[in-house]
Amino acid sequence: MDEPTAALGPEETKNVGLLVQELKKQDQGIFLISHDMHDVFALSDRITVMKSEMVVGSYPTRNLTQDDALEMIILGRKPARFAAATA
């Protein structure tokens, strides 16, 4: 799903969230491409950030903060607290 809620109102956005939750219950994999951090964190189990066709990082959502995700998006590098652990 590429920016599935970008042009939707609140009720339609809620319906997309319900659909994603239902598909997850059915063990269906979903790629959600979005800049809406609220949607990303509310609907995903794993977050992968790409920049310039390269994977910056991929982590379980529960291990990330929104600041971590934004750092990967804006700076194109792993969050400092993860980079230090792999150095």
Residue spans per domain, the chain: 1-44, 45-87
Give the pLDDT mean for 75-82.
Answer: 87
57: tokens are 């990082």
Give the pLDDT mean for 30-53.
Answer: 90
pLDDT of res. 85: 64
31-40: pLDDT as tens digits: 988 888 888 9
CB 30 within 8 A of CB 24: yes
User: With a threshold of 0.95, does the pTM exceed it?
Assistant: no
Q: How far apart are CA 78 and CA 87, in angstroms?
A: 11
